[in-house]
Structure 1
Amino acid sequence: MNSKQLQYFLTTVHKGSIAGAARELDIAQPAISQQLASLEREMGAQLLSRTFSGVTLTPAGDLFLSHATKLMDDINTAKSELRELVGKTAGTVKVGMLPSIGNVLSMPLIAEVKQNHPKLKLEISTGPSYSVKGWLEGRQVDIALTYEQDVDPRFMTVSPLIRENLHLVMANQATSSEYSHLAGRESIPFWALSQFPLLSPGNKDALGKLIEHYENATGVSLQHNLAYSGQLMTGLRQVMQGEGVMILPTSAIFHLEESGLVSTLKIVEPEMQRLVLAATNKTSPLNEAVLKMLKVIKRVVASEQALQHWRGSLAFTDQSEMKGVLASGSLMSS
């Protein structure tokens, strides 16, 4: 029995067929069938029941599944620990994220990797939530920074990062008469959003799904502007011209707010929040470079939250390494 056989077995079970495993692993079906048959001979039991429609676990296979999962976890852990021991935390890590997340994380993340982790190479791709989800499923990225609304437990393993607050984003109150009556306020109740034309991304996007959830939960119908293209920067330009408002986290607009180009009000009654997560594909073993990048991402998230660029509360519990970051408001070498 070897790790290749274990990987083939686990992937076949996960995909429900040898054909599905072959597509997932980009390996010919006969090669997978041969390795599975060899594994069954060595185990002395039939592990999979094969039919034209796919495969199912036999009682023996069901018992073996937990052992195989643990063995693969142990193998991957051993590989990671050995790489760390010999100081070979190197490689390219591809990270996919939404534009609103990329706006706050991309530059400090690139700077942190360049300064403190020169053996790592970071590649960032941005797109709508459904695209980022597809990239991770297709293993085009190693890490996806996404939202709980788009989590698919069939292939995702997730680690919480931050529970971000959502805000009403509008043209600057001081220069726009339409919003001058909101001057001096720090928050706005959800029901009051119905008086503004809302540039909404639609329910295909994670944010659109969340807005729809709040509408259903409160019974409040918002004025969705279907002319919105769904592109963040285009929408923000419309907002700055007074053509509508948006519901966004501060990660998307902190730089515009600091420059006085937009104003924000925290949404309350109920408070609008969403959980941001770092997701990996559970069918892809995590190498040391990916594990290191996950730690770096958490450090940068903590720094941007401390700077109030990304308003909300940190959602991960391993914050002991963040004490220096939170105290200084800037990243520190690891």
Structure 2
Amino acid sequence: MDLRQLRYLIAIVEAGSVTDASRRLHVAQPALSQRIASLEEELGLQLLVRTRQGVSPTAAGQELYARAKIIVKQVAAAAAATREKAGHVGGRVGIGLLRSMAPYLATALFRRLRAEAPGIVPEIVVGYSDELVQAIDDARLDIALRVLPVGAKPALPVLLDEPLCVVGPPALLAGMPPQLELSDLAALPLLVSPTQPIHQVLQRTARERGLSFQVVGSVESSTAAAQLCAEGYGAFVTPKAAAQFVVNASGGRLDQRIVTGFDRQVGLYANPEVARSASVETCERILLEVLRERARELL
């Protein structure tokens, strides 16, 4: 088993086709198939199932694919560390940002990285917490922000302890106190998203307490939700820094209130099986600095 075979396996599994993988790798299809056949023969296992619809991994192939991703990442980290010893800090670094934080972090983070570490090529990916954790475990990202499980003892240092807020037109929130209970939300027309973890938690807790929300629609994009709320369609719930960001940008068309009892804790996650290079550590340092700076401005 060699590194090239592992890279070929990764490409085929991700492409779902030997033909597509050969194009991506710029390797002749017969040569690619032969290397995978040699790997299967060496292991004494079938790794791929070939059908008219394409190629999919067997259980053994899926296991090797997952481990191959980590191995390739470790080799890349070792190469980067070697270059760094010679004074060359750079290369691609995958950074995951939570969807609710991306609007006020992504551009500031990119600018700082280009200014302070021009040799690094940042690859910023936006997603929900579980998606980013999976991307780290699959070796598609190097570091990512994640929401720590509610009620569990944090396994990661808490970088940000952030309340949730409801955002809506000033007229809709007029007369409401600065801090609201969950029951107060039942009086508001709400835009929600069934895929957003914070909305899932709110709706599950409401059901447990015998409450029901006035859901007027579902919008995945917080930017779109803010625009619709500014036009008077209702209110939406988002973490406080994101709430402050959209309120500041609304020119007085939006206001906010804190929702008590639903603080979320944010930490930084990396795969413990992959050694972090100086480039990754540089990105981590700058990400934390930008996060703290923006949090001071918005919280």
Name the TM tier (shorter chain): 0.5 to 0.7
8 A Cα contact 2:96 2:144, kept in partner:
no
Report how far residue 246 of structure 1 moved: 1.6
From 247, 253, 266, the counterpart of 2:243: 253
Counterpart for residue 36 of structure 1? 36
Q: 1:193 to 1:74 in 2, by over 3 A?
A: closer
Judge which range, 66-75 or 243-252, deviates more. Answer: 66-75
From 291, 295, 298, the counterpart of 1:301: 291
Matched, 1:146 2:127: yes
8 A Cα contact 1:91 1:121, kept in partner:
yes
Counterpart for residue 184 of structure 2? 192
Matched, 1:265 2:257: yes
Report how far residue 104 of structure 1 moved: 1.5
Report how far residue 224 of structure 1 moved: 1.2
Pairwise CA RMSD of aligned residues? 4.5
Structure 2: unaligned runs, 5 residues or longer: 147-159
Q: Which structure 2 residues correspond to residues 152-301 of structure 1 after superposition, within 5 A? A: 153=134, 155=138, 159-161=144-146, 162=160, 164-172=162-170, 176=171, 178-183=172-177, 185=178, 187-200=179-192, 202-205=193-196, 208-226=199-217, 231-240=221-230, 242-255=232-245, 257=247, 261=252, 262-268=254-260, 270-271=261-262, 273=264, 292-301=282-291
Give % identity. Answer: 19
Counterpart for residue 320 of structure 1? none
TM-score under structure 2 normalisation? 0.66
In structure 2, how many angstroms separate the alpha carbons of the residues matched to 1:20 and 1:250?
44
8 A Cα contact 2:5 2:35, kept in partner:
yes
Q: Secondary structure, in 3 states, of the residue corresponding to 2:31?
A: helix
Count of residue pairs brought into register by the alignment: 271
In structure 2, how many angstroms separate the alpha carbons of the residues matched to 1:203 and 1:46?
45
In structure 2, how many angstroms separate the alpha carbons of the residues matched to 1:233 and 1:64?
40
In structure 2, how many angstroms separate the alpha carbons of the residues matched to 1:233 and 1:55?
38
Q: Which structure 2 residues correspond to residues 30-109 of structure 1 after superposition, within 5 A? A: 30-39=30-39, 43=42, 45-48=43-46, 51-52=49-50, 54-56=56-58, 72=72, 74-91=74-91, 100-109=100-109
8 A Cα contact 2:97 2:144, kept in partner:
no
Report how far residue 79 of structure 1 moved: 0.8
8 A Cα contact 2:104 2:294, kept in partner:
yes
